[in-house]
Structure 1
Amino acid sequence: MYRVWNFVTNYSLLLIGGAVLALAWVNLHPHSYHDFVEFVLIDNFFIGHAHEVEGHIHRTLTVHYLVNDVLMAFFFAIAAKEVWEAIILKNGSLRGKKAATPLFATAGGMLGPITVYLGLAAILGSDTFDAVSRGWAIPTATDIAFSYLVGRIVFGAGHPAVRFLLLLAIADDAAGLIILAVFYPSGELQPLWLLVSAGASLATFVFFNWLPRILDRGDQLRPVSSWVRKYLSFWPYAVAGAVSWYGFQEAGLHPALGLLPVVPAIPHADRAFGIFSEAEQYLTDLLNQIEHMLKYPVEVILFFFGLCNAGVEFSSIGTPTWLVLAGLLIGKPVGVLVFGWLAAHPLRLGLPQGMRTADLFVVGCVAAIGFTVSLFIASVAFTGGTTLEGINVQDAAKMGALFSFGAAIIAITVGKVLRVEKQQ
């Protein structure tokens, strides 16, 4: 049974299952589906969707808010952990010259989709542009888990292009977190509340990470650090995470990013083996232990994320759907190829040994799978009431994110056409 569960989670089948169930449910019985998603768990609560009632902020906790704004914070915390280690550790994958070409390719993989999306929208006229322009970030996303799995199918597990793809996806995640925080606030900005988040992170780092190490200096037994680790474990960081999350909600930033300030405060190993590396399970630092502790709960959370966000009626397919798809399927591969080529050849930063220039285009095709993060951005970029040609823009954009799964078939086909040699 464990092996079956491990297979299901490794291949994110719960997320796919939630999305498929949502599509079937909403197209068979839309009213009951929307009643479920918007079901009120607690009215007049301290967390939830905010609306003003008689001059006071009234919050309502719904199923949708619980999943998207509260539980998805754990998903983004895991993504932030990988980004943080890639940047801060000496052998981090986003440090030094080896990361230069992937970072250039990442920039192209974001600018390309934005250019295609907004360019085509402008060609279609001002009404279309005004209705969809806020969704410019939707096609910039790369679903790191699915892209990694498809990349292994196309290139084989041992091909240098797979590691290149992972570097690109991690950098893409980092940029995506910044875009969500800066361009898609959840309400009126109250930046002073961010001091609460920063204070929680700083206090936890000082008292439960830095100070124990200072007190243990010169003592190989590390008694203070061991006591903190044994008796307090992750609880100080859990409390700090809750405080930081609340600070983000009150600050008007998307609260799903609320755990990010706490991640750097957690004790971490001196090295990282890389995302999806089996070797990381043997690291005993608290940050890796928390990540592995969250693995299965986050998979369940992603099931409900798919269920609450992929419920789009097929009648919602429209112009935003094709704009998102064009940004992903055209802008992403072309952007990765052009910027990757510029970095590798004119700038002489090079490519990993065994990787061809043509492989950049294939990597771009694989990275065009937006899915999870594209769905998330679509849900925050548009309000449910925005329409274009009688079609709900948010639903149409979400359908484009769902259809981006087609990039997997395109990537496999392009890989065969360009004679990619698999390396196991």
Structure 2
Amino acid sequence: MYRVWNFLTNYSLLLILGAVMALIWANLNAESYRAFVHFVIWEHAPIGHLDDGHRTLTLHYLVNDVLMALFFAIAAKEVWEAVILKQGALRGRKAATPLVATLGGMLGPVAVYLGLATLMGSETYSAVANGWAIPTATDVAFSYLVGRIVFGAGHPAVRFLLLLAIADDAAGLIILAIFYPSAELAPEWLLLSLAAAVAVFALANWLPRRLDTGNQDRPNSTWVRQKLSFWPYLLAACASWYGFQEAGIQPALGLLPIVPTIPHADRAFGLFAEAEQYLTDLLNHIEHALKHPVEVVLFLFGLLNAGVEVTAIGDATWLVLAGLLIGKPFGVLLMGWLGARAFKFGLPAGMRIVDLFVIGCVAAIGFTVSLFIASVAFDAGPVQDAAKLGALLSFPVAIIAVVAGRLAGVVRVGN
């Protein structure tokens, strides 16, 4: 149990604390909470005809659009390693069934969400339709935690769940970028992000290694690593973030093009694995340096986004919960069965078909990413608050997952 609690404190406790504080604050004094969320940090009024307009930096924008870029960069790092490395978790036949199950875990919630919204009438459908992606999300940290509680750390279903969650993260990033623009699209600005990524890869990564060809001492690569460290990538990240913002794409995704350019080891041990602290590559060094700052960012994210009044419950709340509670488990079960049996990809040794349903219940914890999608899918108001409440209520789904595991006869393996 110590390991489970240690994992919780490392990755989730501050986020939970922030969300609980927000809920209490919003329900005790909603007006002061809203004032805090929209607190103006910096304001610029236009000066003269050369100035292009009024700009305001609020606390909410700073956290959601700027600092959350660090969180999504770390998520992208895990996805990148899983896809690109020779032993990556999402490569080869071993990843086939989890990938197919991931598809079910996304299509199922969308079908349930939009299907029930249609039955509620055209007026309700029009109001809530843009939130279709909210129940597709799977919170990697919370799901992994609950998966260990349900299956035990040594059960093959835990690794299956982690693969599914990582693939879900990748799909979620794509959905955010394509379907939820932050402003009117101006795709030409993405050329700035592309140029920043190409330039920093060529100058700080490829060129030093090229110059060191045949020299085992690697003087150029060593000089770049010791003298320049992460600074070239930080500058490139800022340029890429600005490109995303001006392009009208969620700026919180702005660091994604830079992650693959950073030198990385040829091994991956899993999400925030302790063993990675012994790897000397720059990508793992940056990830672990960001670990504690990102925990603080997640606390602020929970504090600034989870503050909804319990009276905000509405149609969007039930639709999000239905998508998660019904669409996820049955989607994962159906598509996982097709992948394992019909497509003959098989399941890991020690896993049963019924375990797929339990995995789907565990993956129904959307929380962090669901909250983020809810905040960009709807304008501030009753519908957004109702959708956020549905995302928040997905956390108690952990109890349902534990019960499902008991009913399915899951035998825990390991601690």
Same fold (TM over 0.5): yes
- SS in structure 2 at match of 1:261: coil
The percentage of counterpart residues that share the same residue type is 72
CA deviation after TM superposition for structure 1 residue 374, in Å: 0.1
Counterpart in the other structure of 1:15: 15
Contact 1:11/1:149 (8 A) holds in 2: no
Deviations 1:390-414, CA, capped at 9 Å, x for gaps: xx00000000000001210000001
Aligned equivalent of 2:69: 73
For 2:352, the aligned partner's letter is R
What is the match of residue 36 of structure 2? 36
From 209, 213, 231, give the equivalent of 2:205. 209
Counterpart residue number, 1:399: 389
1:186 aligns with 2:182: yes
Pairing partner for 1:220 from 213, 216, 219: 216
TM-fit CA distance, 1:9: 3.9
Query: Paired residue for 1:64?
Result: 60
User: What TM-score do the two structures reach when normalised by structure 2?
Assistant: 0.96
For the 8 Å contact 1:45–1:61, the answer to whether it is kept is no
1:319: Cα distance to partner?
Answer: 1.0
Say whether residues 1:238 and 2:226 are aligned partners: no
Q: 1:208 to 1:256 in 2, by over 3 A?
A: same
- Output the amino acid matched with 1:197: S
Shift of 1:59: 2.4
Deviation at 1:58, TM superposition (A): 2.8
SS at match of 2:265: coil
Compute the displacement of 1:54 (Å).
12
Q: CA RMSD in A?
A: 1.7
Tell me which of 405, 411, 420 is aligned to 2:401: 411
Could you say which residue in structure 2 is the equivalent of 1:336? 332
- Residue of structure 2 in register with 1:274 after alignment: 270
Q: 2:346 is aligned with what amino acid?
A: G
Secondary structure at the counterpart of residue 273 of structure 1: coil
- Given that 2:7 and 2:145 are in contact with CA atoms closer than 8 Å, whether structure 1 keeps it comes out as no
In structure 2, C-alpha distance between the alignment counterparts of 1:69 and 1:106, rounded to whole Å:
27
2:93 and 2:272 mapped to 1: Cα distance? 22
1:305-356 superposed Cα distances (whole Å, 9 cap, x missing partner): 0000000001101111010000001100000000000010011100001111
Please list, as runs of the form range in 1=range in 2, the aligned pairs for 1:18-417 lying within 5 A after superposition.
18-44=18-44, 56-385=52-381, 392-417=382-407
Distance in 2 of aligned mates of 1:239 and 1:276: 25
* C-alpha distance in 2 between matches for 1:9 and 1:267: 29
Please tell me the residue identity of whatever aligns with 1:410: I
Aligned pair count reads 409
Q: Which runs of 5+ in 2 are unaligned?
A: none
**Secondary structure of 1:226's match?**
helix
Q: Which runs of 5+ in 1 are unaligned?
A: 47-52, 386-391
Looking at structure 2, the residues matched to 6 and 337 of structure 1 have their Cα atoms a distance apart, in angstroms, of 30
TM-score normalized by structure 1? Answer: 0.94
What is the alpha-carbon distance in structure 2 between the residues aligned to residue 326 and residue 10 of structure 1? Answer: 30
User: What is the match of residue 49 of structure 1?
Assistant: none
Cα gap change, 1:299 to 1:407, in 2 (>3 Å): same
